[in-house]
Amino acid sequence: MRIQNKKAQTGHGIIWVYKIILLLLVSLVYAVIIYNMFYFKCDIRSAESVLLAKKTTNCLINNGIIDVNNFDSNTLKKCFNFDKEQLDEYSISAKLSYKDFSDNVKTGNTDLEVLCGLKGKSPECLSQSYYVLSKNNTELKKARLDLSISILKVDEKYSNI
């Protein structure tokens, strides 16, 4: 039969308490790091608005020329494959103007343009202007195309970028 030192047993028990506290502390730090890594929200609306502007101009302008006869909201809707739910998150407005002509075409949630520049949960807004040639039947004229794009949503599925 072996007799153990009672003081040694007490010291050994105290060391286990410190080991458990250290293990809990390391687990807590690990959980905080993982939480921050997976729940970080990245706002990519500014990049998305630039890409939508490029896609809009590529759709409306062919070789630097806009056909006035095809400048309508149906043409603008054909440029994008948005479903009804997505259209509530976007606003795309194109205004074509020259001396005696001005036409404004909009698609999506047009109320978003009013919210641009407000503080709080406001949409990301982008305005760009292009100088193009407009074709009305066979006549070419210098024109200006003003694009206004507003995006309300923040896509949470893109994280850790």
Q: What per-residue confidence (pLDDT) applies to 158?
A: 43
Q: What per-residue confidence (pLDDT) applies to 4?
A: 64
Amino acid identity of residue 61, one-letter, is: I
Task: State both tokens at 64.
Answer: 């630097």
Name the CA dihedral angle for 91, 96, 101, 106, rounded to a multiple of 10 degrees.
Answer: -20
- Mapping DSSP onto H, E and C, the string for 83-129 reads CHHHHCCEEEEEEEEECCEEEEEEEECHHHHHHCCCCCCCCEEEEEE
Q: What per-residue confidence (pLDDT) applies to 21?
A: 94
Per-position pLDDT tens, the chain of length 161: 555 666 666 777 788 888 999 999 999 999 999 888 877 777 788 888 899 899 988 888 888 888 888 888 888 888 887 777 777 888 888 999 988 778 888 888 888 888 887 776 778 889 999 999 888 888 888 999 999 998 887 655 544 44
Cβ pair 51, 79 in contact under 8 A = no
Q: What per-residue confidence (pLDDT) applies to 159?
A: 41
Q: What per-residue confidence (pLDDT) applies to 155?
A: 53
Q: What per-residue confidence (pLDDT) applies to 15?
A: 85
Q: What per-residue confidence (pLDDT) applies to 83?
A: 78
